[in-house]
Amino acid sequence: MFGECHAHVLMNGTNYRQAVLQHREKPDEAAVRACLEKYQEAEVHFVRDGGDPYGVSKLAARLAPEYGIDYRTPIFAVHKNGHYGSIVGRGFDNLKEFHQRVVEAKKEGADFIKIMTTGLLDFRDHGKVTGTPLDAEEVREMVHIAHEEGFAVMSHTNGVYGVKAAIEAGVDSLEHGNYMDEEAISMLADSHTVWVPTLVTVRNLIGAGRFEDAVLRPIIRQAEKMVSLAYQKKAKVAVGSDAGAYMVPHGTAVRQEYEAFCQILGNTTEVKDWLYSGEQEIRERFRRK
């Protein structure tokens, strides 16, 4: 089975607020163990977390070997204060503070650095991403600082401007990447960045009632087009579901994400090998040096 290249052990796939209440005072070990068991049952032996502010992924990293899981964590994600990202990590105001966050992550045992460079999909306004993206120059400096400290960088990024800025900055993986265009995919293919499109975060919302399907379908179609282009151009792409997000279950979402690729590109050995090689890149780079 594929590994899970994007998960949040903190979140439970159903109720974010409840998950926070459960872990806020102190990470709930029973819940973390139950989550790791789901990966074990699904025969998923590699999990890369996207971080949380409560130390849940830090605890998961300590327990994961008991479940035969190679688990990698950034401990927390790093966002610029006033921009999206506080739900998964710690903030900074300037690059000096960003560097301090990187040093903190290192002290706490991070395997890599997770950064937030843009907001989320805006489901009320097709084609738009919430908030303002970080400036390309700032993203470049952030990635440089993290690399200098010996870390690979996982970047939460949506929208054409943000995606191009992240790729140019040399991020090691690009998470979500909704609303790219053909030029962005060409840049991706010419770079060392691995794209983790987290397709099921939108696909699993169909019929769930939270958003209208008519709003979701164009986003899904657009992602399908970009995934097909990425495959044609042989960009690096890996399977990661954002497990823990609403309607995205731990363990089994890995298969759902893989099946989404098969639906788009065909269920072939070429597709499987292509995705395995993307995962291999992530496994090699996102480890403590």
d(CA 258, CA 194): 16
What distance lies between CA 181 and its chain's CA centroid?
20
Site for Zn ion contains 197 (CB under 5 A): no
- Of the two residues 153 and 189, which places its CB atom closer to Zn ion in the complex? 153
* 61 backbone dihedrals φ, ψ, rounded to 5°: -65, -35
- Of the two residues 50 and 119, which places its CB atom closer to Zn ion in the complex? 50
Residue 50: CB minimum distance to Zn ion, A: 4
- Of the two residues 52 and 281, which places its CB atom closer to Zn ion in the complex? 52
Site for Zn ion contains 53 (CB under 5 A): no
Q: Measure Cα distances from 1 to 12, 81, 188, 223 in Å.
A: 22, 38, 26, 23
- Of the two residues 5 and 134, which places its CB atom closer to Zn ion in the complex? 5
Residue 232: CB minimum distance to Zn ion, A: 27
Token pair belonging to 264: 């788009």
Residue type, 284: E
Site for Zn ion contains 50 (CB under 5 A): yes
Q: Which residues contact 161 (CB under 8 A, 6 or more apart)?
A: 133, 136
Q: Under rule CB under 5 A, which residues in 55-94 are in contact with Zn ion?
A: none
User: Going residue by residue from 210 to 249, which x/- string records binding to Zn ion, judged by CB under 5 A?
Assistant: --------------------------------x-------
Residue type, 30: A
Residue nearest to Zn ion according to CB distances in the complex: 50
Determine which helix (DSSP H) or strand (DSSP E) holds 72, and give its type and residue range.
Answer: strand 70-72
- Of the two residues 50 and 162, which places its CB atom closer to Zn ion in the complex? 50
- Residues in the site for Zn ion, rule: CB under 5 A? 50, 242
